[in-house]
């Protein structure tokens, strides 16, 4: 899950691997919430997204790599959608990815991204509209 989120955010296998390693180290060295699996999963998602944002601030430009069938993030049932998804702005791409590929609810995404559920719902709606236009070829 960490690798998939990091890849969809960065678009680069090497950066996703680095972030996976950083999040794993944070999991070992910090005190994550261990009340239950749900809290831990939210914490891991939040740390992953923060690490991606930090990397983005450092690099500013990403070198997108093409998905390959042997990749851990390759999902053959959605290749055309994933290609178009990467063309969306990050805020829409992240919400759509967490909702459809990681199957989080709007409430769960709002906790992970520290946004209100209304904001997540709006970004989800706008992201769907933009993705639809991309898929229709407009």
pLDDT tens-digit map of 13-61? 888 999 999 999 998 888 777 778 888 888 899 999 999 888 877 665 4
CB atoms within 10 A of CB 46: 16
- State the Cα–Cα distance between residues 48 and 131, nearest whole angstrom: 24
CB proximity list for 74: less than 8 A, separation 6 or greater:
67, 68
The pLDDT tens digits of the residues spanning 109-123 come to 998 888 999 999 999
Question: pTM of whole model > 0.75?
Answer: no
Instruction: Round to whole Å and give the CA distance between 132 and 122.
Output: 15
């Amino acid at each position: 899950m960490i690798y998939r989120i990091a890849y969809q955010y960065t678009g680069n296998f090497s950066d996703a691997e680095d972030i996976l390693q950083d999040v794993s180290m944070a999991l070992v060295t910090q005190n994550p919430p261990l009340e239950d699996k749900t809290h831990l999963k939210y914490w891991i998602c939040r740390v992953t997204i923060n690490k991606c944002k930090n990397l983005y601030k450092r690099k500013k430009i990403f070198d997108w790599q093409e998905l390959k069938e042997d990749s851990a993030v390759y999902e053959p049932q959605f290749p055309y959608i994933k290609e178009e998804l990467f063309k969306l702005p990050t805020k829409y791409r992240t919400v759509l990815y967490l909702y459809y590929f990681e199957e989080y609810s709007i409430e769960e995404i709002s906790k992970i991204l520290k946004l209100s559920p209304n904001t997540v719902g709006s970004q989800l709606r706008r992201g769907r509209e933009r993705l639809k236009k991309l898929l229709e070829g407009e």
